[in-house]
Each structure stands twice: as C-alpha cells, then as structure tokens.
Amino acid sequence: MTPFALEMRRNRSLLVALVISLLAYGGIMGLMYPILKQSDDQMRAYMEMFPKEFLAAFGMTGSLADPGVFFTTYIASWMWPIMAAAAALIAGTRTVAVDLDRGFLDLPLSTRISRTRYLATAIASQVLTMAVLATAAVLGLWGAAKLVGVDFDLGRFAVAGVLCFALGCAIAGPATLGSVLTLSRGVTSAIVGGTLFVMYAVFVVTGVSADWAWIGPLTAWNHFPTTKVIDAGYLPVGDLALFGAIAIGCWLGAIAAFRRRDLAA
C-alpha cells in the first residue's frame, strides 16, 4: 500500500462521518428553501426586529430568499468552518503529533521513505479530504434544492465551494505546522481553535460596531464573502490567494521543520 493510500484509508472514517453530516444538513436546508422563500415577508419582518449590524455580523445582510444570504447563513457562517476545523485539526495533527505519541511514527520513518515524502503525502491527503468535504457542503444543498424545483446557479455555487475549500486548507496548514512544532494535538488544537474563535468574535464585533471595522481584514471571515460570490457573481481572487498563501506557506514550513525536528524532544 502506498503512503498516500494509507493516509486516505486512515482518513476514511473521518471523511465518511463529515460527508454524511454535510450532505444531510445541506440536504435538509435545500429542501426547506422553498418554504423560507414563500415566507419571505414574515422573515423580513422578523429580521427587522434586530439591529442591522447584528444581522450583518452573522451573514444575514439581506433576504434569506437570496441564495447567497441563504448559503452564508446556514452553511458558510458556521457549519462549514466547524466541519473544516474538525477535519483540519484531526488530520493535520495525526501524522506527526498523534502518531508519535502512539509510537507509530517510528515505523514509517524506519523505511526508505524520507521525512519530506512522508509528510508531503499526508498533506496531499489533507487537500483531497478538504476538497471532498467542500464539494459535499455545496452539492448537498444545491442538489436537494434542485429536487424541489429550485434552480441555484451551479457555477456560482462552485466558486463558493472553492472558497470553502481554500478556507479549509488555510486551517489545515497551520494545524500541520503546529503539530510538527509542538508535537502535541492538544496544544495545536488550542492554538488553532482559539485563533479561529478570536477571529470570529472580532468579525462579530466589527459587524456590530463600525468603530472596530479597521481590524476586520485580520479575520478569516472578512475574506470569506460567499454571499457576494453567489448573489453578485463576485470572483474572490484576492481572498483565494490569501488562503492559498497561508496554507502553502504553513505546509512548506511544516515539511522544512519536520526534516530537522528532534522527535525525542
């Protein structure tokens, strides 16, 4: 069995569980979309009870009948980041930190497989895992909506899916680097998870108070404009480049550090 096949086999249970969750949740929401669209007037009246800044902080910047607002509210604002973070932290920390703790890491490293190839293979597995999950997050909702006669723009949903994939990779990269540097899943999860939580809290604060808008670009959610992508056909080239730079930079850093890392430390 090749190292890549082994990594994908080890990711199998995680991948199946998260794909089923994403498809099931997205499917339910897609089937509910016509109901929400028919109740748009009532929903608008209900949303007017809340401050606009509060709604903007959670991606509800318009009518839930708008496909982009709908996708952002029910998928992009919370469901996808949680699923992506779970996959990134589990897969990104297992190859080095967890395998070292379990005594498994010595086995593959005792073969002729170099450290560089070993970790690069694990990273390739993370990329494929994140791509499958992002596809499930988008197609679950889009496909279910199609079954009930809702014709969402597949091209724009596909771009939103690519953006979801890029965000997931931007979480997996730092998780992998943290795993190599700390040799601890717990410490890495606390750092990466804590950073995501702080960024989301900052995003909410900047949406509620314009005085704090200047720190908005520091949050990942500020570079995750799925509403604009779907409703306006916006191409998030800069945001994709940013997420890609974070992911690739951290993965390359992890490989470089792993080559010299004293695993007995």
Instruction: Return the sign of the alpha-carbon dihedral for residues 60, 61, 63, 65.
Output: negative
Residue whose pair of structure tokens reads 């430390």 in the numeric block: 265
Range in 3-17, 130-144, 166-180, 247-261 with the lowest mean pLDDT: 3-17
Can you give the pTM of this predicted structure?
0.91
Query: Region 223-236: what's the mean pLDDT?
Result: 94
**How confident is the prediction for the chain on average, in pLDDT?**
89
pLDDT at 111: 81
pLDDT tens profile 57-96: 665 666 778 899 899 988 998 899 999 999 999 999 998 9
Query: Region 205-224: what's the mean pLDDT?
Result: 83
Q: Which residues of 81-102 are buried (b: 16+ CB within 10 A; e: fewer)?
A: bebbbbbbbbbbbbbbbbbbee
Q: Is the pLDDT of residue 119 over 70?
A: yes
pLDDT band at residue 136, thresholds of 50, 70 and 90? Answer: very high
Q: Cα–Cα distance between 102 and 6 in angstroms, integer?
A: 17
Query: Region 221-229: what's the mean pLDDT?
Result: 93
H helices of the chain, in order, are: 3-10, 12-38, 40-47, 52-57, 67-71, 79-93, 99-102, 106-109, 115-147, 154-182, 185-208, 226-232, 237-260
